[in-house]
Amino acid sequence: MRKIRVTVWNEFRHEKTYEAVKKVYPKGMHTVIAKALRAQEDMTARTATLDEPEHGLTEAVLAKTDVLIWWGHMAHHEVKDEIVDRVQKRVLNGMGLIPLHSGHMSKPFMRLMGTECNLKWREADEKERLWVVAPNHPIAAGLGEYFELPQEEMYGEFFDIPAPDETVLISWFAGGEVFRSGCCFNRGHGRIFYFRPGHETYRTYYDENVIRVITNAVRWCAPTPDAAVREFGNRKPLEDLG
Amino acid sequence: MRKIRVTVWNEFRHEKTYEAVKKVYPKGMHTVIAKALRAQEDMTARTATLDEPEHGLTEAVLAKTDVLIWWGHMAHHEVKDEIVDRVQKRVLNGMGLIPLHSGHMSKPFMRLMGTECNLKWREADEKERLWVVAPNHPIAAGLGEYFELPQEEMYGEFFDIPAPDETVLISWFAGGEVFRSGCCFNRGHGRIFYFRPGHETYRTYYDENVIRVITNAVRWCAPTPDAAVREFGNRKPLEDLG
Amino acid sequence: MRKIRVTVWNEFRHEKTYEAVKKVYPKGMHTVIAKALRAQEDMTARTATLDEPEHGLTEAVLAKTDVLIWWGHMAHHEVKDEIVDRVQKRVLNGMGLIPLHSGHMSKPFMRLMGTECNLKWREADEKERLWVVAPNHPIAAGLGEYFELPQEEMYGEFFDIPAPDETVLISWFAGGEVFRSGCCFNRGHGRIFYFRPGHETYRTYYDENVIRVITNAVRWCAPTPDAAVREFGNRKPLEDLG
Amino acid sequence: MRKIRVTVWNEFRHEKTYEAVKKVYPKGMHTVIAKALRAQEDMTARTATLDEPEHGLTEAVLAKTDVLIWWGHMAHHEVKDEIVDRVQKRVLNGMGLIPLHSGHMSKPFMRLMGTECNLKWREADEKERLWVVAPNHPIAAGLGEYFELPQEEMYGEFFDIPAPDETVLISWFAGGEVFRSGCCFNRGHGRIFYFRPGHETYRTYYDENVIRVITNAVRWCAPTPDAAVREFGNRKPLEDLG
């Protein structure tokens, strides 16, 4: 079976700007995530960042990407609309998309949701406990009833997204909020999984359960090899999605 | 416009058995809820309890009930299957059903869900904060972003129900759990709203926000006067649902 | 109770361009729909068209619009992005939106869906039969099990929209297609109902069942008077939505 | 990877009673379906029928069943409640269930849905065309935009089921009806896929597309090997579901 080809995209600015972040992710969050993916038997991973030409997301790269992971925050506005068009189109043609954490206000996610994607937030080093509310979902495979992150940024409801097609995880925060933290969406021929954790100052992407959710999500988002999607009329077939 | 006819059903055992409960609800929870409903311009309320003949839910009573509210707990097993059949049928023919709190394991609700309806629980006088996650839903009308109950029993996920058609409220508990607390279901021609709060030792059903949710839910669950439901083929029309 | 204020927006080009259309709708489809709405006790209706300044959708008009009905086709591309921004924002703040027929590719609907919104189509004067698949939904109130339009344009699946939050109607076409014809979406604090029928060369908007669906949809889409929506934090309150 | 263990259950009465059915399925529909499953690399299949002791569904058999396929019709009422309890419990603990055709009124399916599961029907040797409305769903993998069955029994809406968690197929019938023909449900830790075609007098279960849907559904319904389901508290782990 062909491996799932993942591209891990990172804005990669906080890591260069702030000492506290650089200390946790000296080579960027994307490298930590990509390394964890490469340890899986059934996937490959490359990386791409904002400051590369075309943000590293050329037509050629996207044509060889089955699932795109996206971390962005302080520079959402610098992402060129032309690249957003390209990503949106590729998702609608079957590519998986996994926006992480502050990616809730990234241009590609907002474009695909159609809503403001706003939420409440607080930085207070507080505990997050993520509860599984869809225990038979493939993205919950291997998790217990919940898992914890000792310190995270808080995100709280109301999270202004369309009602997810499936909600897999709901977070509890020590400060008093709840949040739909693992949200599945089908859009066009593609699949999207929004996953909440991952503030840049914490070691979240080194966490075993976080990586498990991300790798499960990669498998869930990946296009089915012989999916009906290619047959559909008004749409060009996915390039090189063998 | 004809008023919505509500029947408030209560097991009415805890109130007779335990001093602590009797103190809070001397005449039973059903009387407190019914009184609050009668204060609304657009609804009437009667009550029914387990120990009445046919549990107070005769064919005649159900035929004049647009929405049935249900509180039960220690005596779920005493509810006769014949009455459960009758309630289920009436819901499928268009009656609204609002199971409260421990009604999650009542026979009518379990019958209509098809699942175990189990959950986690803890009695620890802890704070519950209910967050609105569907702000445009009629059941959320008039609420703020959240409301609180200073002391409640905890109910925690995984709550073994089918994914709700709409989730309106998610609870946060001081002890570390989350719970889908306001859940909408369409079943047959009827509507069901499960609402979590209401442990018998607390003054929950005197709370203004709790009553607001219940009265909003009554309106949402009530059959549309000229609903398509009556026209449907293999099913006898709703009796007296004018 | 305050009446629901509806604005019926029409591109109003086909009626001026084609004799066949002019014959059916000499003053435009919007006037026929608005007249039907004005015959309801609980709503008022104004109209707006593409060629008016700001397409007739000034800030002042939108601030007094509870529900916007939208018919467009040949001139989708002429709708200014600035007005689309305004409509999207107003929907996310609580206004209802009812895109009709070829409005499936209108800019506001596509913006709110995030997908291509494409479909199959054929003009062959064929019969459409619309089946009710959610008989307890308020938008189905007063309909029978199905209703028919003797001649319509065919729209067929795959209709590239997000899975609707609720599907009320599915169409059968004589030529062999099916279509999700009545689709409910919640977006932000607003509600959207896409309704399929209404090709400009047929007398569809004179049909009693079509008008019934549209008026039911207006009521379903209208913001709840004291909805929670106004309380939400990062968003300015709806202006004049009393 | 361990193979998915499927049990194909058949009432197996029509085939013994009616010449027309015996001619099409001399050894029963279950044998035809099981043979097709055995041709897949990743699954094994056994069969069970109504007239075997315990209907062939002993605790031991169910403990070794990952996915149960169910065809029943004229003898629904002969299925013992004790066995229905067992099947329901096993589904809620993680087993997949695929009710076929007239299985819409089988006791296990009705029990798990909580509704009447009624529908319209007509035997008129008419054409059925099944449209894919969720092209990225694994159950649609390898299908075109639609597939046809030259002659089938008609099933029409309103189909009295809870709104499916995902709708994959909608049927068009020559006589004028539509039907949600491929419906996904999550219940407890199990997955259910209702699939409409399969009237006993037609060669439906020899059809390549029908078999493709069934085998895709087996894969979708099968419990994830290391699913969270086993960890859950109040429930005993799935036996032998390795």
* A131 vs C: CB within 8 A: no
- Asked whether the beta carbons of residue C120 and residue A233 sit closer than 8 angstroms, the reply is yes
From the list C112, C114, C165, which residue is nearest A163 (CB)? C165
**Closest chain D residue by Cα to residue B160:** D188
Arithmetic mean of pLDDT over chain C: 93
- Asked whether the beta carbons of residue C176 and residue D132 sit closer than 8 angstroms, the reply is no
* B206 vs A: CB within 8 A: no
Taking only the tens place, the pLDDT of each residue in C111-135 is 999 999 999 999 999 999 999 999 9
Average pLDDT, stretch B225-238?
44
Whole-angstrom distance, CA of residue C218 vs CA of residue D28? 53
- Asked whether the beta carbons of residue B234 and residue D118 sit closer than 8 angstroms, the reply is yes
Q: Does residue B155 register a pLDDT over 80?
A: yes
* A182 vs D: CB within 8 A: no
* C1 vs D: CB within 8 A: no
Average pLDDT, stretch A214-231?
77
Whole-angstrom distance, CA of residue C77 vs CA of residue C82? 12
C-alpha pair distances (Å), A156 with each of A112, A123, A194, B159, C65: 21, 12, 15, 21, 31
Question: C104, C91, C125, C160: which is closest to C20 by C-alpha?
Answer: C125
Q: How many B/C residue pairs have CB atoms within 8 Å?
A: 78
C-alpha pair distances (Å), B59 with each of A62, B82, B89, B189: 64, 11, 11, 18
**Closest chain D residue by Cα to residue B90:** D115
The residues pairing with B88 across neighbouring beta strands, listed in sequence order, are none
Q: Collect all residues with Cβ–Cβ distance below 8 Å to C61 and sequence separation of at least 6.
A: C7, C46, C48
Report residue C169 as tokens.
């109607």
> The dihedral of CA C174, C178, C179, C182: what is its sign?
positive
Q: Does residue D61 register a pLDDT over 50?
A: yes
Question: A132, C199, A105: which is closest to D228 by C-alpha?
Answer: A132
Whole-angstrom distance, CA of residue A112 vs CA of residue A91? 9
- Asked whether the beta carbons of residue C136 and residue B226 sit closer than 8 angstroms, the reply is no
CATH class of D4-114+183-231: alpha beta
The one-letter code for the residue type at C238 is: L
Model pLDDT, residue B224: 78
Whole-angstrom distance, CA of residue D202 vs CA of residue D197? 10
Q: Does residue A75 register a pLDDT over 60?
A: yes
ipTM score assigned to the predicted complex: 0.93
The answer to whether the beta carbons of residues D222 and D67 sit under 8 Å apart is yes
CB contacts, 8 Å: B115 with chain D: 92, 112, 187-188
The one-letter code for the residue type at B114 is: G
Whole-angstrom distance, CA of residue B237 vs CA of residue B230? 5
Taking only the tens place, the pLDDT of each residue in D162-218 is 999 999 999 999 999 999 999 999 999 999 999 999 999 999 999 999 999 999 999
The answer to whether the beta carbons of residues D13 and D74 sit under 8 Å apart is yes
Whole-angstrom distance, CA of residue C59 vs CA of residue C39? 27
CB contacts, 8 Å: B224 with chain C: 136, 138, 141
* B237 vs C: CB within 8 A: no
Instruction: With H, G, I as helix, E, B as strand and everything else as coil, classify residue B58.
Output: coil
Pairing between strand C178-187 and C166-173? antiparallel
Element (H, E) at C38: helix C29-38
**Closest chain A residue by Cα to residue B148:** A176
- Asked whether the beta carbons of residue A133 and residue B176 sit closer than 8 angstroms, the reply is no
Minimum distance, in Å, between the CA of residue D204 and any CA atom of chain B:
27
- Asked whether the beta carbons of residue B170 and residue A170 sit closer than 8 angstroms, the reply is yes
- D88 class by beta-carbon count within 10 Å (0-12 exposed, 13-18 middle, 19+ buried): buried
DSSP secondary structure letters along D25-93: -TT-HHHHHHHHHHTSTTEEEEEEETTSGGGG--HHHHHT-SEEEEE--TTGGGS-HHHHHHHHHHHHT
The torsion angles phi and psi of A21, rounded to 5 degrees, stand at -80, -45
Q: How many B/D residue pairs have CB atoms within 8 Å?
A: 51
Question: C81, C82, C63, C61: which is closest to C9 by C-alpha?
Answer: C61
Element (H, E) at B168: strand B166-173
Q: Please write down the long-range contacts of D12-20, taking CB distance under 8 Å and 24 or more positions apart.
A: D12/D49, D12/D50, D12/D51, D13/D50, D13/D73, D13/D74, D13/D75, D14/D73, D14/D74, D14/D200, D15/D200, D18/D200, D18/D201, D20/D201
**Closest chain B residue by Cα to residue A166:** B163
Taking only the tens place, the pLDDT of each residue in B105-139 is 999 999 999 999 999 999 999 999 999 999 999 99
- Asked whether the beta carbons of residue A234 and residue C112 sit closer than 8 angstroms, the reply is no
Report residue A145 as tokens.
């009833």
**Gyration radius of chain C's alpha carbons:** 17
Question: D201, D199, D171, D174: which is closest to D183 by C-alpha?
Answer: D171
CB contacts, 8 Å: C114 with chain A: 88, 111-114, 187
CB contacts, 8 Å: A112 with chain C: 114-115
* B157 vs D: CB within 8 A: no
From the list B135, B143, B190, which residue is nearest C136 (CB)? B190
Mutate to test the interface with A, among D90, D91, D224, D229 (most CBs of A within 10 A): D224
CB contacts, 8 Å: B135 with chain A: 158
Q: Does residue D240 register a pLDDT over 60?
A: no
**Distance, CA of A211 to chain centre:** 11
Model pLDDT, residue B230: 42
* C92 vs A: CB within 8 A: yes
The answer to whether the beta carbons of residues D182 and D193 sit under 8 Å apart is yes
- Asked whether the beta carbons of residue B187 and residue D112 sit closer than 8 angstroms, the reply is no
What pTM was estimated for this model as a whole?
A: 0.95
**Distance, CA of C185 to chain centre:** 12
Q: Does residue A231 register a pLDDT over 90?
A: no
* Furthest CA-CA distance within chain B: 51
Ordered by start, the domain boundaries in chain C are 4-114+183-231
Whole-angstrom distance, CA of residue C149 vs CA of residue C166? 23
